[in-house]
Structure 1
């Protein structure tokens, strides 16, 4: 199996072990960082029950699975393509314009990042998601117009995540700017970028393919709720 077949498990038991809660059969990210979780070897019913016991009844998680495991209820899902970047060079970033600047984002920017996520819906962004690091944004004046960061880090790879751009400034290449900044940081560490995009988001797919990403697999991100007894 390839490490990207279950990037959550291979990150939680690898480079992100310090950010994990659980044991050698079931793990999740710290609750205020990410809702992603997984179990070993795609899991037996006992492993999924172990995860349910870990998080408690009513907890909602994101897992790479095609159907809700025993003891869990599916409450949503995302049909995604997984893309990987295996090129040698990054393309040249477009010019920003005199009114915009590329910035590195940190804890002081969390409120602005949450506001942008609420307006653009790229995926979950929690109070400590910024701690995954590598976040970059484009500001126009004091306004955060676009951002991207990193998330799961299975061995040798790092996920580009939370890519979003305010509709007010779309078409100016801001999303490309922040993505390239994130990708450059990943490559400088000797890792390879990968990402997930919903299959219906053809606008984003076109951008990622222009940047040199190639489609590796189709993945289902299942949003499920634990029904384990307390």
Structure 2
């Protein structure tokens, strides 16, 4: 277990929105969320109070999507449940890796790359990604013959931690070690800042084994839930 406070990971969304990502947050009462073109992730600061769901509905508006995790409470029955999916939160417990050899086709992605990033996400479905998600942190990509075939980046940033997210590889480029290169590079960048890497993964995602081989360890189980406001 790393020598760090892991308590902020019990609700990393709230910790990020009240901390390093406060400038990207919108709030109403006891609910908070990212701006909709950045991320659909929301959090409730008093999730055992039924009235807090009114705050979230007011914040997001009618017929809006809300993604919550690390939230044990359920909304009132007139909210629409879109999905519930089991998964894990993992933290990097291995030693700080050596700086990986930077491949010639490994690049840092910027706003001009967003259309290609969105197209890759559409093909590979690593999780939610929006037009301004890139503002959450550093995103890296791998290009083959100029085309973006793999990427990964930083999402939630609770104090002292950074989440690795949007790890994806185009089907025609799999089996070449791109994901491992991207994750290892991000782990180095994060630890070089004095922060600690973590990530979330669906329970049935075959990438779980890769993450564990790269030094990540399951910290806790998580349920990802998607709802639509009334």
Q: Is TM more than 0.5 here? A: yes
**Aligned pair partner of 1:214 in 204, 209, 217:** 217
Q: Tell me the SS of whatever aligns to 1:11.
A: helix
RMSD: 1.8
CA distance in 2, matches of 1:110, 1:8: 23
Question: Structure 2 matches for 1:40-55, cutoff 5 A?
Answer: 40-55=45-60
**Aligned pair partner of 2:148 in 144, 149, 156:** 144
Distance of aligned partners of 1:105 and 1:153 in 2 relative to their CA distance in 1, 3 Å threshold:
same
Deviation at 1:127, TM superposition (A): 0.4
CA distance in 1, matches of 2:95, 2:28: 37
Question: Structure 2 matches for 1:161-176, cutoff 5 A?
Answer: 161-176=165-180
- What is residue 139 of structure 2 aligned with on the other side? 135
**Aligned pair partner of 1:193 in 194, 197, 207:** 197
- What is residue 78 of structure 1 aligned with on the other side? 85
Deviation at 1:117, TM superposition (A): 0.4
CA distance in 1, matches of 2:63, 2:51: 18
**Aligned pair partner of 2:228 in 207, 222, 225:** 225
Deviation at 1:138, TM superposition (A): 0.6
Question: Structure 2 matches for 1:4-83, cutoff 5 A?
Answer: 4-23=9-28, 25-64=30-69, 65-66=71-72, 68-70=74-76, 72-83=79-90
Work out the number of aligned pairs and report it. 223
Deviation at 1:169, TM superposition (A): 1.2
Deviation at 1:187, TM superposition (A): 1.1
- What is residue 183 of structure 2 aligned with on the other side? 179
Aligned partners of 1:67 and 1:222 also within 8 Å: no
Deviates more, 1:21-30 or 1:85-94: 85-94
Aligned partners of 2:96 and 2:188 also within 8 Å: no
CA distance in 1, matches of 2:190, 2:25: 21
CA distance in 2, matches of 1:95, 1:157: 24
**Structure 2 unaligned spans of 5+:** 1-5
CA distance in 2, matches of 1:152, 1:13: 11
Q: Tell me the SS of whatever aligns to 2:80.
A: strand
Aligned partners of 1:134 and 1:149 also within 8 Å: yes
**Aligned pair partner of 2:118 in 114, 120, 138:** 114
Deviates more, 1:138-147 or 1:84-93: 84-93
Distance of aligned partners of 1:93 and 1:78 in 2 relative to their CA distance in 1, 3 Å threshold:
farther
* CA displacement 1:79-115 (0-9 Å, x = unmatched): 111100133222674885xxx6110001011011111
**Structure 1 unaligned spans of 5+:** none
Aligned partners of 2:99 and 2:185 also within 8 Å: no
